[in-house]
Every structure is written in C-alpha cells, then in structure tokens.
Structure 1
Amino acid sequence: MEKHWIKLFVTPNPIRAEIVKQMLEEHQVPAVVINKQDSSYRFGQIELYVHESQESLARELLADNEYGAHEEN
C-alpha cells in the first residue's frame, strides 16, 4: 500500500466493512478494505484505510453515522 494511508476502522464483519467503505465513497472519501481474516475459520480482522488528507472528514462521517462507536481504531 502507498504511504500516507491511515487505518480508520477495524471489524471482524466483512459486510460492515463494505457498508462503511460505501458510505465513505458516497461522500467522495476514497477507502480501501484489507481483509486479514483467515479464509477457512473466519477469525481475524478486516481493516479499512483512508488517505491521511481525508482522515478528519472520514472520522466525522463515522461519528455522524454511528459506524465507529465500538470498532473504530
């Protein structure tokens, strides 16, 4: 991954990660999901990254939409 990307959100739920990614992209905040789960046993985390220039807006959007209350990193 390129430099200057910030881990914004971590969850064990792949669907939730994609929902958050879609919400950010609808607000013109590019996001990248990296799935670090084991494919056989489904343990591990899924991480969502945003560019550092978009971090404050992304955090505001998470807070406004209550996505990051328990899973935000």
Structure 2
Amino acid sequence: MIHNVNENWVKVYTTGDAFAAEVLKQGLTEAGIPAVTINKQLAAYNFGEVNVLVNQADFDKAIEYMVQNEIE
C-alpha cells in the first residue's frame, strides 16, 4: 500500500540505521498505524538519516507504541 506523503505526515523517529527504521515501520503498520520511511542516506556510504513518518492523526498512538516497545 503506497501512501501519499504530504503535509499530514509527521516525523516520529530518526535514525542512522535503515534496518531499525524498517523494523519500526513494520511494527507500527502491524499495530494499525500506517507508517512510511524516508531514506536520506547516501546509499554507498550508509551515511545520513532515515526518518519514520506517520499521519498527524496517528502521532500520539505512534509515540505510545514506541514507548511501550522501548524504542528510543
């Protein structure tokens, strides 16, 4: 399912670890919170950041999920 990332999407997590971002995105999605990752890394160097975004309406639920799962 492809989501249109627009002004309704907000960043809930930033990491340098693309795998961790994917795991979080999957966890949020499985918990019923649609999420997307935006990879801003330079592919060859794995340098930079990966952002996880959720819809503004799901922001509080996403933060709650992260707290419950001890994701920092």
TM-score > 0.5, shorter chain as reference: yes
Q: Distance in 1 between matches of 2:18 and 2:47?
A: 11
- Structure 2 gaps of 5+ residues are none
Q: Moved runs in structure 1, 4+ residues, more than 3 A? A: none
- Structure 1 gaps of 5+ residues are none
Q: State percent identity of aligned pairs.
A: 35
Which residue matches 1:36?
40
Which residue matches 1:27?
31
Amino acid of the structure 2 residue aligned with 1:16: A
Which residue matches 1:51?
55
Q: Which has the higher contact order (CA 8 A, sep 6+)?
A: 1
After TM superposition, the score normalised by the length of structure 1 is 0.89
Q: Distance in 2 between matches of 1:4 and 1:39?
A: 27
Q: Distance in 1 between matches of 2:17 and 2:48?
A: 10
After TM superposition, the score normalised by the length of structure 2 is 0.90
Deviations 1:40-59 (A, max 9, x none): 11110000000000000000
